[in-house]
Amino acid sequence: MAQPRRQIEALDDLCREAAVELGDDWRGIERYVTDRVSRLPVEQQQALLEDVLMTLRFQPPGRFRA
């Protein structure tokens, strides 16, 4: 089983690669990342989705008032 957040780091790498290659072409970056993710094995795609959803659901703990 993959380490937690390892998939997020892989996604970060893909986005960085796309930005280096395509500059500020946001649609191109989206196509690049989508294409690269679609070539991953289904298990890795699912792990990536789970990690992304876990990251998006994160809520920092409330702050205490003194």
The pLDDT tens digits along the chain (66 residues) read: 445 567 788 889 999 999 999 999 999 999 999 999 999 999 999 999 888 888 888 878 876 666
What is the value of pTM for the model shown? 0.70
Does residue 52 contact residue 44 with C-beta atoms inside 8 Å? no
Provide the Cα torsion 25, 31, 33, 36; round to 10°: -140
